[in-house]
Amino acid sequence: MAKNDKRRFGDRKDGRLIRSLPGFSRFIPYIMPTRNDATNLYEERMEVSEVDRRLRRLRVEGYKGIGILHFLIAAYIRLVSMLPGLNRFVAGRRIYAANDIVVVMVVKRALSIDASETTIKLHFEPTDTIFDVYRKMNEKIDEIKASDEHNNTEDVAEALSHLPRFLLRFVILVLRILDYFGWLPESLTEASPFHGSLIITDLGSLRIGPVFHHIYNFGTLPIFIAFGAKHHVYELDRHGNMVDNKYVDLKFSLDERTVDGHYMAQAFQAWRYLFQHPEILEQPPTRIVDDIY
C-alpha cells in the first residue's frame, strides 16, 4: 500500500506519485490522456464450484447472504496485497499508487423498477479477509437501505443538478481542473463515485449476463468489473466422468496505463488460484507487498 506519513511534492491526498517508473510508462499518459483511450477489455469464465461449496458452508455457519460479490471483492483485496500495482491510477497524466483500497458499488434500495439507486464506497485494508468484507458491506448496505435520506453522493449531485446548464458546465470544468492537479477537497472525493480503486456491479442479481462497462474519464477508477449469474455446465472430468460444474462470467474494463500486460497476466493467474482455493481468503495474508516508489 502507498500509505505514508510524509507527503512529498507531487503527491495527492488520495495517492503517492510513483517516481521510479521507466520513461515509457511515464510517457504513455500523454499519448493516451483519457481512460477511454487506454481501456482494455477482458473476459473470463471462472469455475466457481469450490467457491460455491465454501460459501454454502459459511451461510450454514451464520453468514447469511454471503455470496460471490463478497468473494470477488475479497479476492481483489488479496491480489492488491500481493500485486499492489493493481491499485494504481492515472490523474493529471501521472501514475499514482493509491493510499487506500476503495471499492465503489451501485445499489438499489429495493429490487423494483421504482426503487431509488445510489452508490456506496467501501474502504478496505490489504489485511482484510472475506469476513471483514462481509461485515463492512452489510453495515453500509443496511445503512443505505434503512434510510430514505440521500447520502453524500446524492446530496452533491442534487445540488449541482439545480444549477443552470452554463453554470453547471463551468463548475464541472473547475472540478476537472482541481482533480487534474489533485486539489479536490477530500469531502468531494469521498462523495464522488468516480474516485476509487475498483467499481463492481453484480448483474447476476438482475438475472442478466455481464456487460463491458466503460470506465470514467473523470476521477481515478482504473478497473470496472461486471459479473453475471452462476450457471451450470456439464463437462467430463479427467477420468471421463460427467460432472456438473458451476461458472460465472466476468468482464473487465482496465486502464492499461497503470501496469503492463505481464503484470496483469500474473494477477489473473493468481485470481484463478483463489477461485480454486477460496479458503485462503478466510485468513489474512502473511505478507503485504508495498508498491514501488
Residue 256, sorted as left (phi over 0), alpha (psi -120 to 50) or beta, turns out to be alpha
Question: Burial code of 270-279, b = ≥16 C-beta within 10 A, e = fewer?
Answer: ebeebbeebe
pLDDT of residue 21: 95
Domain of 128 in residue numbering reads as 15-282
- The DSSP H or E segment spanning 268 is helix 261-276
pLDDT tens column, 245-266: 999 999 999 999 999 999 999 9
Which has more confidence, 201 or 236?
201
CATH label of the domain that carries residue 246 = 3.30.559.10
Q: How confident is the model at residue 119 (pLDDT cuts 50, 70, 90)?
A: confident
Between the alpha carbon of residue 231 and those of residues 65, 234, 246, 252, the distances in Å are 18, 10, 6, 19
Average pLDDT over the chain reads 91
To the question of pTM greater than 0.75 for the whole model, the response is yes
pLDDT of residue 288: 97
Contact between residue 196 and residue 189 where contact means Cβ atoms under 8 Å apart: no
Cell of 195: 474516485
pLDDT tens column, 41-60: 999 999 999 999 999 999 99
Q: What is the rounded average pLDDT of the residues 265-289?
A: 96
d(CA 206, CA 108): 11
**4 inside domain:** no
Q: What is the rounded average pLDDT of the residues 27-51?
A: 95
Kindly write down the DSSP assignment for every residue of 165-207, as one continuous string: HHHHHHHHHHHHHHHHTT-S-HHHHHH-TT-SSEEEEE-GGGT
Cell of 124: 478496505
**238 inside domain:** yes
pLDDT of residue 107: 74
pLDDT of residue 7: 82
**Strand pairing category for 94-98 and 117-124:** unpaired
Phi, psi of 125 (to 5 degrees): -105, 155
Strand ranges for the chain from DSSP E: 15-17, 39-47, 88-91, 94-98, 101-108, 117-124, 198-202, 223-227, 231-236, 242-255
**Three-state DSSP state, 50:** helix
Instruction: Give the CA angle between residues 270, 272, 273 to the nearest 5°.
Output: 65
Between the alpha carbon of residue 74 and those of residues 66, 130, 134, 282, the distances in Å are 12, 5, 9, 9
pLDDT of residue 204: 87
**1 inside domain:** no
pLDDT surpasses 60 at 1: no
Q: What is the rounded average pLDDT of the residues 28-47?
A: 95
**133 inside domain:** yes
Kindly write down the DSSP assignment for every residue of 233-251, as one continuous string: EEEE-TTS-EEEEEEEEEE
Which has more confidence, 115 or 76?
76
**99 inside domain:** yes
Q: What is the rounded average pLDDT of the residues 153-169?
A: 85
Phi, psi of 3 (to 5 degrees): -65, 135
pLDDT surpasses 90 at 2: no
Q: How confident is the model at residue 274 (pLDDT cuts 50, 70, 90)?
A: very high
Which has the minimum average pLDDT: 41-50, 122-131, 138-147, 183-192? 138-147
**269 inside domain:** yes
Q: How confident is the model at residue 148 (pLDDT cuts 50, 70, 90)?
A: low
**2 inside domain:** no
pLDDT tens column, 63-113: 999 999 999 999 999 999 999 999 999 999 999 999 999 999 977 666 666
pLDDT tens column, 165-218: 999 999 999 999 999 999 999 989 998 999 999 999 998 888 888 999 999 999
pLDDT of residue 129: 98
Number of domains in the chain: 1
**Three-state DSSP state, 5:** coil
